[in-house]
Amino acid sequence: MTHTLNNLTYCIHTFGCQMNKHDSERIAGMLEALGAYAVESIEEADVVVFMTCCVREAADTRLYGQVASMKNIPLRDGTPLNKRVIAVGGCIGQRDGDKLIETLPHLDIVFGTHNLASLPQLITDTLEEGGHHVEVKEASLSFPTDLPTSREHEWAAWLPITIGCNNFCTYCIVPYVRGREKSRTIEDIKQEAQRYVDAGVKEITLLGQNVNSYGRDLYGEPRFADILRSVNDTGIERLRFATSHPKDLTDEVISLFGTLPSLMPALHLPVQSGSNRILDAMNRRYTKEHYLGLVKKLRQINPEIALSTDIIVGFPGETEEDFMDTYNLVKEVGYTQVFTFIYSKREGTPAAAMVDDTPREVIQDRFDRLVELVQEQAYRENQKDLGKTIDVLVEGASKRDANLICAKSPKNVTVHAPLPEGIAIEDIVGTILKVHIDKAKTWYLSGQVVSL
């Protein structure tokens, strides 16, 4: 039985994707349900949880470094504990298990991606018995639906609809650490979405490694388009989703960008490369032509749709010609945002065994050229909103200026506007305002509030 964590403080450090951030919200919900309360810094925390990601080498190295440095951080004043409890979960916990404890002996708990619900018990076992506690299940039998959640923002919610992935892109570790894809039932998803709407949430983002293959493991094989329609019917104002695999994006889902009022005109569609040879080596299972065909259909449905993508530069064997295929594809599509990554080898993936002999300077030069193009494009795409009055969802004050509203446009671009006189930011956080855009920069728009 799990005991209370009354009066203990906790802090969660999250690395990686939205799925990890959502897992952290669930952990926060569980710890708060047992009486613990959140603090900002590790120094003030009795329980420190690292939610990890091993998709990129940088996060991996940071995690090991940060946990190692915990040894030297004194306990907070007034703590009832004589030792801080340190836990590592998420992808690195799943992948490394006991090995983490061997490398970092002051670590108390390791839990895998399928063991979120066990964390409170593992913490109480540590408090009562001391010692190390490791729980890493190979797979979940079903979707873990019933965990409480403590959301970062009252007005926005992430709603996972699938976990795991069946795609095995050759560079990616996710299928090995998150397991095979499992979908949640439509009923479950609808109920959770309705609870959020009833609680005043304005924006829901549906989450999955590949939301487009939703439902293939369920009886009757419901489709992702069914989920979009069902969540729209709850009365949510803004609906988004991530991530979308181009090979599974259907015409039915594309058509919803023209008909579902809540579906925002923004789609993250990771292309990874514009070279068919590299796409094949990545096991992406689509071609550049197929991808460009999707873009054409999306723009026919909504010429205003904002597209963003992920690109890996320097995949093993990438030639200048392959890179130029990517460069030209980016030029042709015109993205509002591109997340560019230099290829980083992940042990245990097929790509790790591929010959990777392109000099580092060559890859860096390609990366820099691409980033320059992406910036030009983002600037150009943002100019299209100049002079328009758009609805923005207020997220808070700008970090640099407390008198400036920071909000998000329907296309998911940051919008700044001076706080109207006599209005406190707390009164408008989470509301949708109309802003007239009078300036468009590379990474943000700015304007004046025209109605509250």
Interface with ligand SF4 (CB under 6 A): 165, 167-169, 172, 174-175, 209-210, 245
CB of 204 closer than 8 Å to CB of 238:
yes
CA-based torsion, 13, 17, 18, 24: positive or negative: negative
Give min distance, CB of 392 to ligand SF4, in A: 30
| C-beta of 155 vs 171, nearer to ligand SF4 | 171
**In the complex, what is the shortest distance from the CB of residue 86 to ligand SF4, in angstroms, rounded to a whole number?**
28
Which is nearer to ligand SF4, 166 or 230 (by Cβ)? Answer: 166
DSSP secondary structure string, 246-304? GGG--HHHHHHHHH-TTB-SEEE---B-S-HHHHHHTT----HHHHHHHHHHHHHH-TT
Nearer to ligand SF4, 254 or 312 (CB): 312
Nearer to ligand SF4, 115 or 210 (CB): 210
Cα(100)–Cα(87) distance, integer angstroms? 10
Element (DSSP H or E) covering residue 348: none
Q: Which is nearer to ligand SF4, 47 or 206 (CB)?
A: 206
Q: Cα Rg for the chain, rounded, in angstroms?
A: 23
CB of 243 to ligand SF4, least distance (A): 7
Nearer to ligand SF4, 280 or 391 (CB): 280
Query: Shortest Cβ distance from residue 171 to ligand SF4 (Å)?
Result: 7
Compute the distance between CA of residue 181 and CA of residue 165 in angstroms, rounded to an integer.
4
Burial class for 98, CB neighbours closer than 10 Å (0-12, 13-18, 19+): exposed
- Residue 450 phi, psi (nearest 5): -105, -25
Q: Which is nearer to ligand SF4, 166 or 194 (CB)?
A: 166
Closest distance of CB 261 from ligand SF4, Å: 29
- The residues facing 338 across adjacent strands are 309
Identify the burial level of 149 via C-beta atoms within 10 angstroms of its C-beta, where 0-12 means exposed, 13-18 middle and 19 or more buried: buried
Residue 176 beta carbon to ligand SF4: minimum distance, rounded to whole angstroms: 9
Q: Is the link from the previous residue into 340 a cis peptide, with omega within 30 of 0?
A: no
* Cβ at position 283, least distance to ligand SF4 in Å: 8
